[in-house]
Amino acid sequence: MNSSSSIPDTLQKPLSRSLLMLRLGVFVVMLMWTLDKFINPAHAGKIFDRFYGIYWLSQHFSYIVGAIELLLVLAFVTGLWRRWTYGAVLLIHAVSTFFSYKQYMAPFDNLLFFAAWPMLAACLALYWLRDSDTLLTFPPRGNK
């Protein structure tokens, strides 16, 4: 079902623009997390150990995870395979957000962790409204 066909023309353009901005914003954050795996693999290893209990993440494995994640975020930002790429980004960010639960127990010592919640909402909105996200996507779909 193409939900964008049931949206009035007066709303489709601002909705498409809003979804594009959400997609670009989420992409920037995900790209920085991805680049961290290449630029500072030791940091990525510490994060995987501390938050996910994955202590065996080597530098080489960090590059592999980073490469896979880079392909995902590039497909996401271009709007390819929306159901799968938007869903994967949502899942990755949700896992990251929920696995950081200990940080929320001391909120004023970890204020930056609370930025994960609006981004999680943005990821969820993008997933739910993926059929209406039509600007700057590949292949182009229904751009008005």
Whether residue 138 lies inside any domain: the answer is no
Task: For tokens 């938050």, name the residue.
Answer: 51
CA separation for the pair 121, 15 (Å, rounded): 16
Task: For tokens 């409204």, name the residue.
Answer: 129
Longest dimension (CA), the chain: 53
Whether residue 109 lies inside any domain: the answer is yes
Please name which of 22, 11, 20 lies closest in space to residue 121, comparing C-alpha atoms: 22
Whether residue 24 lies inside any domain: the answer is yes
Reported confidence tier of residue 3, pLDDT bands at 50, 70, 90 = low
Give per-residue pLDDT as tens, 38-93. Answer: 999 988 888 888 888 887 777 788 899 999 999 999 999 999 999 999 999 999 99
Whether residue 122 lies inside any domain: the answer is yes
Please name which of 113, 110, 109, 82 lies closest in space to residue 97, comparing C-alpha atoms: 113
119, 26 Cβ separation under 8 angstroms = yes
Q: In the chain, how many domains are there?
A: 1
Whether residue 57 lies inside any domain: the answer is yes
In the chain, where does DSSP find H-type helix?
9-39, 41-52, 59-77, 82-99, 101-104, 116-128
CA separation for the pair 33, 36 (Å, rounded): 5
Give the CA dihedral 2, 73, 20, 142, nearest 10 degrees. Answer: -30
Find the length of the chain.
144
Give per-residue pLDDT as tens, 101-134. Answer: 999 999 999 899 999 999 999 999 999 999 999 9
Whether residue 4 lies inside any domain: the answer is no
What radius of gyration do the chain's Cα atoms show?
17
State which residues form the domain around 52: 10-132
Whether residue 63 lies inside any domain: the answer is yes
Whether residue 25 lies inside any domain: the answer is yes
